[in-house]
Amino acid sequence: MAKVLIVDDEMGIRELLSEILSDEGHDVELAANAAEARSARNSARPDLVLLDIWMPDTDGITLLKEWSANGQLTMPVVMMSGHGTIDTAVEATRIGAIDYLEKPIALQKLLAAVKRGLQRPATPGAPAALSLAAFTRSVPLRELRRRIEQIGDSSRVLLLKVGAGSIAELAARSVQAANAPWLDLAALHAPIDIAQLQGAGGGVVFVAELARLSRPQQKNLAFTLERLERYDLRMVLATDHSQEGLQRLGWDDSLLSRLFEVSLAPPSLGELRDEVPELAAQILLHLVEAGEVPRHHFSTAALNALRTQSWPGGYAELRAAVKSIALGTLEEEIALTDVRRMIAPPADAAAYGLPLDQPLREAREAFERLYFEHHLRLEGGNMTRLAEKTGLERTHLYRKLKQLGLQAGRKSEDG
């Protein structure tokens, strides 16, 4: 007996398909929309899914992309639609659907599609790494993905300007096509050769932080940059340094000019605080599907605790925290106490040396000094980026720094 999940917003169709497949001896689960389908996918672990394309909350194609992106497309999916086109069917197949049925669905076609799906071997290997495509409910992450895709239409190279809380790898994974190679240049210490580039063909070359590359690795980067088109490669680089800052570290000016030609500043986890619950939930699902942690799910209180936590280490730190929490939790539901046990609560103001026993004016000045010292350090003294980060006009910013007794950064730098 196979478990079959039927996802359709029309009650009549759900009930008809359920009756037919139940008579065939299958165990049937029903979902009226994408939200119910997600829940049923995670709890029932179906052997096959019949998925309607047109649904009111999230359409079937988007849900299929989400499952594919977060490693949950481990079961065969048959798409259904009464208003489909050839293009829709082709797109669904490209994403991972095994078949496409037009409504009204003939009995024999339905049974044949289900039989073919259940005869397919289980999906082998670990799921692909998470990308922005997995986060379909987050407006900022959807917009970031669209920006990256738009840039990718015109450029093979993308520089991500990042700081504390970086989501650079998550963004870079969004450039990677399904099953395409991933080449981390920072992991290569010997000179790169043509065979390695051929093996990475059609994939993504990634560098998490340019400033950490050695001189030989910088030569590997320049060598690869010249051969992107020949081997159909995309290059995504990240750094929290300005172009001038890297020049002072000895980087070649002409190489930097090419790398900084197309850049994007993705939001940090600090700016995506409200998106942390979805990020954490999807990371956990991915870890479960990959077999790295036991089956768990977060309680609402646990997700809220993660949302209030500071994540200076960015996506990598959040992923490590979710994995540690999941491995250390005994119950299937991860509770608030499980999060608190694994992660220290946010430090209070006293822990930062703020004078809470002073009058408000003096305490405010102390906080502002600490705030601007932190961001001056984070932006390497870059006044343009500091003005953008703090939301202050440049003249006002210089006046404020002088008032606080802080040394202003470089006035003309735009890095």
Cβ neighbors of 266 (< 8 A, separation 6 or more) are 144, 160, 162, 166, 167, 168, 171
Whole-number pLDDT of residue 345:
54
Give 126-152 as a DSSP string.
PPPPP-GGG-TT-HHHHHHHHHHHHHH
Q: What does the pLDDT read at residue 15? A: 95
The tens-digit pLDDT sequence of the chain (415 residues) is: 799 999 999 999 999 999 999 999 999 999 999 999 998 998 888 999 999 998 888 899 989 988 887 778 889 999 999 876 778 888 888 888 999 999 999 999 999 999 999 988 765 556 678 889 888 888 999 999 999 999 999 999 999 999 888 999 999 999 988 778 999 999 998 999 999 999 999 999 999 999 999 999 999 999 999 999 999 999 999 999 999 999 999 999 999 999 999 999 999 998 999 999 999 999 998 898 888 999 999 999 999 999 988 888 899 999 999 999 999 999 999 999 999 888 765 455 555 556 666 788 777 888 888 888 877 776 667 787 788 778 888 888 888 888 888 877 654 444 4
331 alpha-carbon distance from chain centroid: 27
List of domains in the chain: 3-119 (3.40.50.2300), 132-264 (3.40.50.300), 273-342 (1.10.8.60), 350-403 (1.10.10.60)
50-68 burial, b if ≥16 CB within 10 A, otherwise e?
bbbbbbeebbbbbbbbbbb
Question: Which pair of structure tokens corresponds to residue 42?
Answer: 């995670």
Q: Supply the pTM of this predicted model.
A: 0.68
Burial state string for 332-364 with b = 16 or more CB within 10 A and e = fewer than 16 = eebeeebbeebeeeeeeeeeeebeeeeeeeeee
Distance CA 276, CA 270 (A): 9
Q: State the pLDDT at residue 125.
A: 55
DSSP string, 238-262: EESS-HHHHHHTT--HHHHHHHTSS
Q: Give the pLDDT of residue 415.
A: 43
Pick from 185, 171, 238, 176: which is nearest to 204 by CA?
Answer: 176
